[in-house]
Amino acid sequence: MKKTTCAACDCELGAETITVKLGGKSVEVCCQECAEALNEAEAARSSASTGGE
């Protein structure tokens, strides 16, 4: 059986996962807090790469 981990905190994923789209790819996280953290990181990365802010 394949074990999967959260893309944000590396905790093992349970039955309840949240899918987040980052850079055109879907990743799974363990909770809403991790989903928000990845979304914020992606927004900051996108802003930095376009010279925004």
Q: What is the pTM of this model?
A: 0.78
Give residue-wise pLDDT tens across range 1-53: 566 999 999 999 999 999 999 888 999 999 999 999 999 999 998 888 776 55
Torsion 35-19-7-53 (CA) sign:
negative
pLDDT of residue 53: 52
pLDDT of residue 46: 84
The two three-digit tokens of residue 24, written as one number: 């055109």
pLDDT of residue 50: 75
